[in-house]
Homo-oligomer: A and B are copies of this chain.
């Protein structure tokens, strides 16, 4: 099968998408062993770092819409990884449970392995520069 030419390879957006897909697939495989999805894990980690935060705050930090946070938090609570207590009539304070803390540690370990699989091929100066540039792109989000 002949290899096709593909000028999309010169595009930032396209390369970003391809690279991101590859890393996401690897991460998903890694986290599947904890029976967790990437979005659940990121949510759990943010709650661990910010005890008593609210659902909206987590969503804001991760760019996950309020509506989409609901099933994520539900699943975390069903598994007793996260607990919440009412703060006022609208919002809850989220906290990671003891069982949750164990998963947090496991997840970080797996994430570290996953990251290393890719960053090992990059020198650390290049890596830092890359992450900085990605942050710029991320922040270029259109307000509309």
Contact surface of A with B, Cβ cutoff 8 Å: 1-24, 26-27, 42, 45-46, 49-50, 53-54, 56-58, 60-63, 111, 114-115, 117-119, 121-122, 126-127, 129-131, 133-138, 140-142
Chain A binding surface SS class: helix
> How many Å lie between the Cα of A34 and that of B46 in the bound state?
39
Across-interface contacts of A131 in B (CB, < 8 A): 10, 12, 15
Whether B13 contacts A114 by the Cβ 8 Å rule is yes
Whether B111 contacts A140 by the Cβ 8 Å rule is no
Question: Residue on B with the closest CB to A60?
Answer: B1
CB proximity of A121 to chain B, nearest CB, Å: 6
Across-interface contacts of A129 in B (CB, < 8 A): 126, 129
Whether B61 contacts A4 by the Cβ 8 Å rule is yes
Whether B16 contacts A23 by the Cβ 8 Å rule is yes
Whether B17 contacts A20 by the Cβ 8 Å rule is yes
